[in-house]
Amino acid sequence: MRPAAALAARLGLQVHDLDLFEQALVHSSYLHEHPEAAAAHNERLEFLGDAVVNLVVSEALFVRHPADDEGTLSARRAAIVSTSGLARLAGRIELGSWLLLGAGESRRGGRLRPSLLASGFEALAGALYLDLGYGPTCDWLLALARPEIEADLPMGTLKSPKSQLQEYTQQRLGERPFYRIVAASGPDHAKLFRIEVLVEDRVIGVGEGHSRRAAETAAATAALATLAGQDGPARDAP
Q: What pLDDT sits at residue 237? A: 37
Q: Smallest Cα–Cα separation from 214: which of 82, 24, 98, 56?
A: 82
Residue range 161-236 forms a domain whose CATH class is: alpha beta
Nearest-angstrom CA–CA distance, 13 and 10: 8
Q: What is the DSSP string of 34-45?
A: -TTT-S--SHHH
Per-domain residue ranges for the chain?
A: 3-152, 161-236
* Residue 50 a catalytic site member: yes
DSSP 3-state assignment of 109? coil
DSSP state of 12: T
Nearest-angstrom CA–CA distance, 183 and 193: 6
CATH architecture of 3-152: Orthogonal Bundle (1.10)
Secondary structure element (H or E) that encloses residue 112, with its range: none
Sheet holding 202-209, edge to edge: 178-185, 192-199, 202-209
65: which residues sit within 8 A by CB, 6+ positions away? 72, 73, 76, 152
Over the range 93-106, which residues count as b (16 or more CB within 10 Å of their CB) and which as e?
Answer: bebbebbbbbeebb
Nearest-angstrom CA–CA distance, 29 and 12: 28
What does DSSP say about strands 192-199 and 202-209: parallel, antiparallel, or unpaired?
Answer: antiparallel
Secondary structure element (H or E) that encloses residue 80, with its range: helix 70-81
Nearest-angstrom CA–CA distance, 10 and 236: 41
Q: Average pLDDT per run of 10 along the chain, which is 238 residues long?
A: 86 93 91 82 94 97 92 86 88 92 84 87 97 97 94 67 86 92 82 91 89 86 80 41
Q: Are 234 and 224 in contact (CB under 8 A)?
A: yes
Nearest-angstrom CA–CA distance, 35 and 20: 17
CA distances 177 to 167, 193, 199, 217, Å, are 10, 18, 5, 12
pTM tops 0.75, yes or no: no
Please state the φ and ψ torsions of residue 16, each to the nearest 5 degrees.
Answer: -95, -40
Q: What pLDDT sits at residue 179? A: 97
Q: Which of 22, 50, 148, 196 is catalytic?
A: 50
Q: Which of 22, 46, 105, 122 is catalytic?
A: 122
* Residue 70 a catalytic site member: no
